[in-house]
Amino acid sequence: MIFPSSYFFFLLTLMLGSMISISSTSWFGAWIGLELNLMSFIPLIALKMNPFFSEASLKYFLIQALGSVLFISSAFLSLSSPLFSILSIFLALLLKLGGAPFHFWFPQVMEGLKWPQIFLLSTIQKLAPLTLISYLMTNEILVKITIISAILSALIGSLSGLNLVLLRKIIAFSSINHLSWMLVAVSISDTSWLFYFLTYSFILLSIVSVFHKLQTFSLSSLIQSDQNSTFHALIISLNLLSLGGIPPMTGFIPKWIIIQIMVNLNLFVPLFFLLLSALITLYFYLRIIITLILLFNPILNFNMKYKSLSSTPSSLLFKSTFNFMGLFSPLFFILI
């Protein structure tokens, strides 16, 4: 079991906090939802009395508490100085998201988490702040600041992930890079960023499921895993290609839509940086894939452990089928 049964209450309140923030009609109600979300996630991090879990939960709590203080303080200033208040609220939400230039805490917290918590932090914990940021996109100044933050997140998320061997940090910087696409999509329309967010969540779920099953946290442990098999290597490779946005995998479809919208809006400069960062992130995905290909090649296999075609777990196969739905996208245009 991923979480003990007693912790499903915290999962429920976690989702409830996000829903309260999204549906709130005032900044105070949104702040209450964010606080409920924060207090529900802390027990899910500290599942055991472990110094790594305690350090991660403390870092996460301090950063989120700082963002909450800045958020509620800025909301009180909305009557006297509305422009400064909206700008401060935006920066507080960006800090909670872990977007550049406030990304410094995100990889450090991810390094001390298990894979299920990593999935929650990379997906559900970003839902409420992204939605609140989308409510602020009526201001042209904030739209420009959002695009600048997206460019910084794209560059930092791609360049910082080079030469890393820890899978959790690779996924963390990958999440920062994907956040840049979501921020650009937020500045464009609500439909585009929601579609990108849902697609990214399903792709990350398939990757996290495999890593959680193998209980691997680095490239070396992935190679030496006793539960590893040709099936797991194939699933990991295809899922990472989908996460990198390689056509015709599913991960390419939301990027394709955002690229088309940015071209129509003449946003060529941010599009250049987003595409450049996508190529760089594809490099450290390929490092994992090439390692797996070398490992399971019978001629180049340097690992002494025997790797067989083990039985294919139906749950992993079901979770990964979402990544192959992009293969059927040409049928949509044929039918039209």
> Is 61 domain-assigned?
no
> Is 176 domain-assigned?
yes
| Parent domain of 304 | 84-335
Convert 60-97 to b/e letters by CB count within 10 Å (16 or more is b): bbebbeebbebbbebbeeeeeeeeebbbbbbbbbbbbb
For the chain, the domain total comes to 1
SS3 content of the chain, % helix, strand, coil (to 5): 75, 0, 25
Looking at residue 297, its pLDDT comes to 56
Q: What is the pTM of this model?
A: 0.90
> Is 15 domain-assigned?
no
> Is 42 domain-assigned?
no
Dist. CA 241–CA 244, nearest whole Å: 5
Higher pLDDT, 156 or 75: 156
Q: What digits encode the pLDDT tens for the residues 108-162?
A: 999 989 999 999 999 999 999 999 999 999 889 999 999 999 999 999 999 998 8
Dist. CA 36–CA 98, nearest whole Å: 19
Mean pLDDT of 225-245: 80
Looking at residue 295, its pLDDT comes to 67
> Is 34 domain-assigned?
no
Looking at residue 296, its pLDDT comes to 62
Q: Which residues pair with 166 in a beta bridge?
A: 218
> Is 21 domain-assigned?
no
Q: What's the whole-number average pLDDT of the chain?
A: 86
Higher pLDDT, 310 or 21: 21
> Is 73 domain-assigned?
no
Dist. CA 90–CA 201, nearest whole Å: 23
138: which DSSP letter?
T
> Is 63 domain-assigned?
no
